[in-house]
Structure 1
């Protein structure tokens, strides 16, 4: 699973940071979270490719959706035929449809807009779900998303399988996938004899713009990466409260409650665009996980499995 931070800035773009957009590439599929102005150019600039299958919108503020008309039309110019699904909070469909059809445009491929409610599942994919949770932002219905992979099979004990007489080859794969194997002498070897306990998949949580809320904590257990609003440092904490944003310190406190392994601080106000050090320093004062960081536009990150330090793939 690879994450590309396409836009890490706040409502006002700067030369260093564009509006919100995050692309996740997983097993050959690309998912886009938010689509601020200029997202299509960021995709070209940072080499992510355009073949997005699903777009998840956190809320309808312009810095999260104004890139949609241009991207929709670019896909059309590139002869796209496959549908695109847009997932968004309740009440958003009419407004998003207006963006899709900006200037009277009619895409030549299906654009399917789905309103999804917090506490549900926006997408059931191959080996993962994208779950929804309610967030708290100013004057708008807002929602976060948690990409949660299915558990993986436990580790296969090759030495034990050979001791039981299982021949090297396809029988190993059948056992690892949960099938019983009958040996030539009639003995049946069960998967639980040679396969360990299931291992968790990876989890990524994306909040969009929000105050610190319990829904982020409840969205996933010990996420491998939490991408959280950290618009301001403590010197503008009151501004964060009045505008429905979080400080770096508040984001770190939520990350601790969630048991997050890594914390990406995004939606950086233009006040700090050239130097986000205050936001990062205050977050690191309290964050208890492995790493808190402020990503730059274009930064890519591999999200490892929870037990990657044990030699996982």
Structure 2
């Protein structure tokens, strides 16, 4: 699971920051999942190591332009490039209506299937490896945050130990690899968890923008390896944040602290904190770290690989019971 930030500015692009978009690359599946698609996102993808042809899911938080104005252009490019697979888009009400209008008035005809899913709080996608859920955030229009959870994986199966126990290979090995308990023909009961290494805990990512501090964001981020959270304003400009229903750096940090995440990455910064101004982005980072020390600040094309981790021994023992 590799995160690439394609746009980290709020409202409007700047010379160094494009508007909102984050890509989640899943190398084992040759897939890219996109979260928001502000104007110019396809140009950012072309400047990165990502491949437009691998995009097959797009998750939209809300209908403000700095999060959706690049969507139709990207979809059109996918069509002109001869995309062979369908693209699924998930987002709030009116998203499908917006895309239909864009296609109708620009006479854009896509050469591949496009499925638009209107989301509600709860599970929005699941396959054998991942789940994606969403919850409401607090903004001026209907807005949703997303949680991507990788399912736990069994540890490495010890073939040599299985041979030493004279366990016949074949279908039984597959059952034991999945952690199942098997009764052999000779009456012995073998537990798969005893022949597998530590379980690989599934990685978890939360993406929350645009919002003020709210329970929905804390719930989505609970125990996440990485929380990507907007930090449009400095704490000094908290009044502006409340007026516009955006977060300050301290709100982002408070969300991370309440959810007990491992890493907070702030994004969606107001252009008002440009170099040379009294308050700069470094001050926002210092404000957040005073509350949640393990905080980083995103910039365009920042790439971060979410590391795998072994399930703690206590959790593994509990799973055996």
TM-score (norm 1): 0.88
Structure 1 CA distance, aligned partners of 2:73 and 2:229?
Answer: 26
The Cα of 1:239 is off from its aligned counterpart by 0.8
The aligned runs of 1:164-313 (5 Å cut-off) are 164-166=165-167, 174-179=175-180, 187-195=188-196, 198-274=199-275, 275-288=280-293, 291-307=294-310
**Are 2:57 and 1:20 equivalent residues in the alignment?**
no
1:38 to 30, 37, 40: 40
- The CA distance in 2 between the partners of 1:308 and 1:296, in whole Å, is 31
- Report the Cα offset of residue 151 of structure 1: 1.9
Separation in 2, partners of 1:309, 1:96: 46
Alignment of 1:83-162 (within 5 A): 83-118=86-121, 120-138=122-140, 140-154=141-155, 156=157, 161=162
Partner SS for 1:82: coil
CA contact (8 A) 2:177 2:192 kept: yes
Cα distance in 1 between the residues matched to 2:171 and 2:305:
31
Instruction: Tell me if structure 2 keeps the 8 A contact 1:87–1:113.
Output: yes
Segments of structure 1 that go 5 or more residues without pairing to the other structure are none
Counterpart secondary structure, 1:79: coil
CA RMSD of aligned residues (A): 2.6
Structure 1 residue 5 and structure 2 residue 5: aligned?
yes
Whether the 8 Å CA contact 1:69–1:101 is kept in 2: the answer is no
Q: Which runs of 5+ in 2 are unaligned?
A: 314-321
Shift of 1:79: 1.0
Check conservation: 1:14, 1:273, Cα contact below 8 A: no
Q: 1:181 to 1:126 in 2, by over 3 A?
A: closer
The 3-state SS of whatever aligns with 1:264 is strand
TM norm structure 2: 0.86
Stretch deviating more after TM superposition (265-274 or 202-211)? 265-274
CA contact (8 A) 1:148 1:220 kept: no
Stretch moving more, 89-98 or 239-248: 89-98
Task: Tell me the equivalent position of 2:316.
Answer: none
Q: Pick closer, same or farther for the CA change 1:211–1:178 going to 2, 3 Å.
A: same
Residues 76-85 or 62-71, more deviating: 76-85
Taking the aligned partners of 2:251 and 2:50, their CA distance within structure 1 comes to 31
Contact 1:9 / 1:273 at 8 angstroms: preserved in 2?
Answer: no
Q: 1:169 to 1:112 in 2, by over 3 A?
A: closer
122 and 185 in structure 1: CA distance in 2 versus 1, 3 angstrom threshold: closer
